[in-house]
Amino acid sequence: MKQVVFASAMLLGAAICSAQGPGDFTPAETNVWGAEYPRLDATGRVEIRIKAPDAAKARVNFWSGPKVDLQKQADGTWTVVTPPLVPGLHYYTVVVDGAEFADPGSQAFFGGGRHASAVEVPEPGADYYGIKDVPHGQVREVWYASKPTGGWRHALVYLPPGYDTSTRTRYPVLYLQHGGGEDETGWIRQGRANFILDNLIAAGKAKPTIVVMAYGYARRAGAPAASGPSTAAADPEARRRVMQEMASTFQADMTEALIPFVDATFRTIADREHRAMAGLSMGGFQTFQITLNRLDLFSHIGGFSGAGGLNGRALDPKVDFNGVFADPKAFAKKVRLLWLGIGTAEPERMREGIRSLHKALTDAGVDHVYYESPGTDHEWQTWRRDLHDFVPRLFH
CA–CA distance, 321 with 253 (Å, rounded to integer): 20
Residue 268 has φ and ψ, to the nearest 5°, of -95, 160
pLDDT at 234 over 80: no
Residue 80, classed as helix, strand or coil, is strand
Higher pLDDT among residues 231 and 283, named by residue: 283
pLDDT at 19 over 60: no
Looking at residue 322, what is its pLDDT?
58
Beta strands per DSSP E along 254-366: 275-280, 300-304, 337-343
Higher pLDDT among residues 6 and 366, named by residue: 366
Looking at residue 235, what is its pLDDT?
73
Contact 302, 187 (CB under 8 A): no
pLDDT mean over 210-224: 92
The structure's pTM equals 0.89
Percent of the chain exceeding pLDDT 70 equals 88
Q: Is 212 exposed, middle or buried (0-12, 13-18, 19+ CB in 10 A)?
A: buried
Strand 173-177 and strand 210-214: the pairing is parallel
Residue 247: which pLDDT band, with cuts at 50, 70 and 90?
A: confident
Looking at residue 18, what is its pLDDT?
39
Give exposure, 148-164, as e/b (b: 16+ Cβ within 10 Å): bbeeebebbbbbbbebe
What is the identity of the amino acid at 111?
G
CA–CA distance, 80 with 83 (Å, rounded to integer): 10
CA–CA distance, 319 with 18 (Å, rounded to integer): 51
Looking at residue 223, what is its pLDDT?
82
Residue 150 has φ and ψ, to the nearest 5°, of 70, 25
Q: Which secondary-structure segment (H or E) carries 122?
A: none
Residue 142, classed as helix, strand or coil, is strand
Give the CA angle between residues 158, 160, 165 to the nearest 5°. Answer: 120
For the chain, the residue count is 396
Looking at residue 324, what is its pLDDT?
80
- Nearest partner of 114 among 185, 181, 188, judged by Cα: 181
- Nearest partner of 281 among 250, 256, 258, 312, judged by Cα: 312
pLDDT mean over 357-382: 93
Looking at residue 222, what is its pLDDT?
85
pLDDT mean over 11-39: 71
Distances from the Cα of 36 to the Cαs of 18, 26, 48, 194, 223, in angstroms?
19, 8, 9, 27, 46
pLDDT mean over 283-308: 92
- What domains are there in the chain, each with its CATH number? 10-121 (2.60.40.10), 138-393 (3.40.50.1820)
48 φψ region: left (φ > 0), alpha (ψ -120 to 50), beta (else): beta
pLDDT mean over 187-209: 98
Residue 23: which pLDDT band, with cuts at 50, 70 and 90?
A: low
pLDDT tens for each residue of 325-365: 888 888 999 999 999 999 999 999 889 889 988 998 998 89
pLDDT tens for each residue of 146-194: 999 999 999 999 999 999 999 999 999 999 999 999 999 999 999 999 9
pLDDT at 368 over 50: yes
Contact 395, 300 (CB under 8 A): yes
Looking at residue 1, what is its pLDDT?
41
Strand 67-69 and strand 58-62: the pairing is antiparallel
CA–CA distance, 14 with 6 (Å, rounded to integer): 24
Report CA 129 to chain centroid distance, whole Å: 13
pLDDT at 111 over 50: yes
- CB under 8 Å to 363, separation ≥6 — which residues? none
Looking at residue 306, what is its pLDDT?
86
CA–CA distance, 53 with 295 (Å, rounded to integer): 60
Distances from the Cα of 240 to the Cαs of 62, 92, 225, 264, 341, in angstroms?
29, 29, 17, 35, 24
Looking at residue 42, what is its pLDDT?
92
- Nearest partner of 258 among 215, 223, 305, judged by Cα: 215
Average pLDDT, the chain: 88
Strand 46-51 and strand 39-40: the pairing is antiparallel
Looking at residue 228, what is its pLDDT?
53
